[in-house]
Structures are given as C-alpha cells and as structure tokens.
Amino acid sequence: MKYILLMSGMKVGVESYLAWSQKDRDAHMAVLQRIARELTASGEFVATQGLAVPQEAKVVRGEKSAMPVTDGVFPESKEFLLGYWIVDVATPERAYAIAGRISAAPGPGGVPTNVPIEVRGFASYPEVASSSSEEITRGAKRI
Amino acid sequence: MKFILMMTGKMADWDEYTKWSKEDLERNVTFMRAFSKELKDSGVFVATEGLAAPGEAKIVRAGKDGEPITDGVFPESKEFLAGYWIIDVESPEQAYKIAARASTAPGPGGKPGRMPIEVRQVLSGHADLGL
C-alpha cells in the first residue's frame, strides 16, 4: 500500500527554520538521511521531494483564453507543502510509524520538532486504469 | 527547472465532487488523461499522483516514547492536497502556462473549473538526504 507523508508549515515556520544554527540543521538532516537510507534498504522507499521556500509560491488560474493569471498573495494561516515522502508499506500503521519518526527528527537544541505529518493514501489513478468508462468513473470517484 | 503543480480542496469540495454526474466525471477524466499525454509528448512530464479522498487522512506526531500519535480531526478550512504534477520546464512562465491549462479542466456541465493551482519549484534531487 502506497502512502504519501506530507510535511507542511506556515511561512513563519519556514522563517524560523532558516534561522536555525548550522549545527541544528546538520543534526536534523542527519536523522532524515538515516530514515531515507533505512527506507531504501527495507524496500519501502518510493520517492521524496523537497519544495523551495514558499516565498516564491504562485497560484495560477486559467482564464477563458487559457492564459495564466498568477497571484502570490496568501493568507498568513496558509499551510505550504514543504516536502513529502512516498512509501510503499504493508500496513497503514507502518506508514504512521515512519511519519512519527520524521516528526521526531531533532530541531533546535536537539528537541524533536514534533512537526505534524499528514498521511494520505492514493487514488487508483485513471491514467493507468483500463479504458472502460466504468473503470474511469470509479477511478475518478476515488480522487 | 522542476516545478510542482498542486490541486487542493476542502472536505466540502470532495463532497461536491462525489455528486458530479457520470458524464461530468468522464469529461473531467478525459481532459486529465489528454493533459498528462500532452505533458509526456512534450517531454516535460516527471510525475503525477492523485490522492485518495481526505476522509482517511491522518495527522501523525511523535510521542515522547517515539510512538506515533495519530489524529484525524481537521478544521473545516483545511486545504487537502488532491493531486499534483511535477514538470521539468525552461522557465517559471512555462510552468504557469501549464498550470493554467490544468485549471481549465472541465467541471459540472463542461464549464472550465478554474481551479486554483499552486505552483512551487521543487529542489532538484535530494542531495541533502543522500539520495
């Protein structure tokens, strides 16, 4: 079963992260590296991606002409995706355990960040489903 | 440059979506399939995923003993990730253009949904994680 573990934060959280000492950052990354290595070794690792800081984020809507309308104004409370891990595990509990370990990665002074990690499953994706319309509909409903 | 295009929605949006007619759903899915094919054909496609409905979403925090603490209670205003595309393009403007196209995916009655698509640069590779 594939799960995606989403780490999000508000702009202020990102700003405080950027103010961490190099030592704190190294200690944090060392734990995330160990987790990534272990997931690779156990065959549970699928993908991970870190996103650039949210200061550059844009929201795009398509106009009638399909020309993009961009905007970069967000409410202060907006949660930005910071990064994610995709894991392929035997049970949801295993996904929660991995998320718990990521959440326990050390922050300033070695204290666990306790950052909340959102754990979500995947929809059966219509692109890979057979082309019968019934299956497409079923796939779409689960998105 | 790699960018991620994210579709998000509130729980209420999912409830709406499950009420779409079969015809509307098919029209939307046909668009999405054609869109993915275009991205692949033009060589900018990296990855795409659709997420399961947020009814099963959990938030996990580490407890003191390292055991995960799970919770599935979210504020109504919470924006959930619905799906994403990762593309590899020459410029942010190209990413915005592609996002705008995703935003025009048809909604009920075939009208463009004009869904907001969040565009963010992704860090190339994950050298910091040793990957």
- B9 burial level (CB within 10 Å; 0-12, 13-18, 19+): buried
Lowest average pLDDT, out of A60-64, A65-69, B10-14, goes to: A65-69
Q: Structural domains in chain B? A: 2-129 (3.30.70.1060)
B126 touches chain A (CB under 8 A): yes
CB-CB under 8 Å, A103 with B49: no
Over residues B14-24, the mean pLDDT reads: 92
Specify the pLDDT at position B125: 57
Cβ atoms of A87 and A3 within 8 Å: the answer is: yes
**Chain B residues inside the 8 Å CB shell of A59:** 116-119
- Tens digit of each residue's pLDDT (9 = 90 or more) over B107-128: 999 998 889 999 999 986 555 5
How many CA atoms lie less than 13 Å away from A142 in the CB half-sphere?
A: 18
Give per-residue pLDDT as tens, A97-123. Answer: 999 999 999 999 999 999 999 999 998
Give the amino acid at A107: G
Q: Indicate whether A73 pLDDT > 80.
A: yes
Q: Looking at the complex, does the CB of residue A88 fall below 8 Å from at least one CB of chain B?
A: no
CA B3 to chain centroid: 12
Residue A32 pLDDT grade (very low, low, confident, very high; cuts 50, 70, 90)? very high
Domains of chain A, start order: 2-141 (3.30.70.1060)
Q: How close does chain B come to A51, measured CA to CA in Å?
A: 4
Mean pLDDT score of chain A, rounded to an integer? 85
CB contact under 8 A, A50 and B52: no
Cβ-Cβ contacts under 8 Å, A63 against chain B? 100
What pLDDT is attached to residue A132? 35
Q: Judge whether residue A37 has pLDDT over 70.
A: yes
Half-sphere exposure of A40 (CA within 13 A, CB side): 11
Residue B130's pLDDT band, with cuts at 50, 70 and 90, is: low
Q: Do B81 and A122 touch (CB under 8 A)?
A: no
Q: Determine whether the interchain pair A142/B96 forms a contact, defined as Cβ–Cβ distance below 8 Å.
A: no
Between A10-14, A123-127, A133-137, the lowest mean confidence (pLDDT) is in A133-137
Amino acid at position B28, single letter? N
Which residue among A62, A118, A125 places its CB closest to the CB of B57?
A: A118
Instruction: Determine if residue A66 is left, alpha or beta; phi over 0 gives left, psi from -120 to 50 gives alpha, anything else beta.
Output: left
Q: Which of residues 8-27 of B touch A (CB under 8 A)?
A: 17-18, 22, 25-26
Q: Across all residues in chain B, what is the average pLDDT? A: 91
Phi, psi of B43 (to 5 degrees): 80, 15
CB-facing half-sphere around the CA of A62: CA atoms within 13 A: 20
At B39-61, the pLDDT tens digits run 999 999 999 999 999 998 999 99
* Cβ separation B48–A125 shorter than 8 A: yes
Does the CA dihedral A93-B55-B17-A116 come out positive or negative? Answer: negative
Bridge partner residues of B81 (DSSP):
B8
Q: Do A58 and B96 touch (CB under 8 A)?
A: yes
Q: List CB contacts of A36: < 8 A, sequence separation 6 or more.
A: A45, A48, A85, B126, B129, B130, B131
**Which long-range contacts link B9-13 to residues 24+ away (Cβ below 8 Å)?**
B9/B79, B9/B80, B9/B82, B9/B115, B10/B76, B10/B77, B10/B78, B10/B79, B10/B80, B11/B54, B11/B55, B11/B74, B11/B76, B11/B78, B11/B80, B12/B76, B13/B82
- The answer to whether residue A124 scores a pLDDT higher than 80 is no
